[in-house]
Structure 1
């Protein structure tokens, strides 16, 4: 039985769509597309994008594929007296801020995620949503 996955061709189209949105916002961004096992399929850094965005885009995509949810959806506000979920010591490099979006096939099975970094978390989330279609 084969597992659903994302092709390099599909990943390239996702990145192209994300770059269009980043340009519309006047940003230079980094894009990481992972498969359902959180393995890197495609990675691109627009000219002039911050070097720090390399790790951030990967972490946002990893977070999104691991939880099968947009990375910003996992960033719940702090509430006094309540336990705080934090993943700063995980081996996987997770990041709970906007810019990671899961990718699903037509049967709604997860096939991967895209991570974008280059602006504010809100801008990155907008870019990633545009990339994912």
Structure 2
């Protein structure tokens, strides 16, 4: 009798296992893939020029950094009057976007929502880092710093849009 109850209990546990597996949440949407090529210097110059134009139009002094998809710096520009600390921040924003294949604003939003610890190793959780895409594939990233997070994001998104 005892063996029968044990077998029945084991059978019920196994029978419930597939139902649990079916209730798992769907995987997150895939982020853009790497293209196999990196942003060229000419492309980086056009992206930085677009970023600078938006910043100047709004009276913002910023640091603008473009990296390859592996995080290597292609071009960095410090506008007159930009704060010195923004150089490192712009670089970290660009590398975060490239390394994690998503805009830094996604990390910022996750911190605000309480779904990500603010001290997430290796990522800048603040707006201003955007992927640079050509034909929907990652060729690099841009990081902008010097204004508020929303201002940095405005400039980075406008610049990134020049390549798409």
The separation in 2 between residues aligned to 1:33 and 1:5, in whole angstroms, is: 11
Aligned 1:100-115 pairs, distance under 5 A: 100-106=129-135, 108-115=136-143
Indicate whether 1:120 and 2:142 are aligned.
Answer: no
What displacement does 1:3 show?
A: 2.4
Contact 2:38 2:140 in 1 (8 A): yes
Could you report, residue by residue, the CA deviation over 1:95-132 in whole angstroms, capped at 9, with x for unpaired residues? 110100001111x2211100001100000000001111
Choose 1 or 2 for highest CA Rg. Answer: 2
Q: In the alignment, does 2:52 pair up with 1:12?
A: no
- Cα–Cα, structure 1 residues 26 and 35, in superposed 2: closer, same or farther, change >3 Å? same
2:89 to 56, 69, 72: 56
Q: Which residue number in structure 2 is paired with residue 131 of structure 1?
A: 159
Any unmatched runs of 5+ in structure 1?
A: none
Q: 1:74 aligns with which of 86, 94, 107?
A: 107
SS in 1 for 2:75: strand
Q: CA deviation at 1:69?
A: 1.1
TM-score (norm: length of structure 1): 0.87
The structure-2 alpha-carbon separation of the partners of 1:123 and 1:37, relative to structure 1 and needing over 3 Å to count, comes to same
SS at match of 2:81: coil
The size of the alignment, in residue pairs, is 125
The alpha-carbon distance between structure 1 residues 50 and 3, as it changes in their structure 2 partners (threshold 3 A), is same
Structure with the bigger RCO (C-alpha within 8 Å, sep 6+) is: 1
Q: Is the 8 A contact 2:63 2:78 kept in 1?
A: yes
The answer for the alignment partner of 1:41 in structure 2 is 74
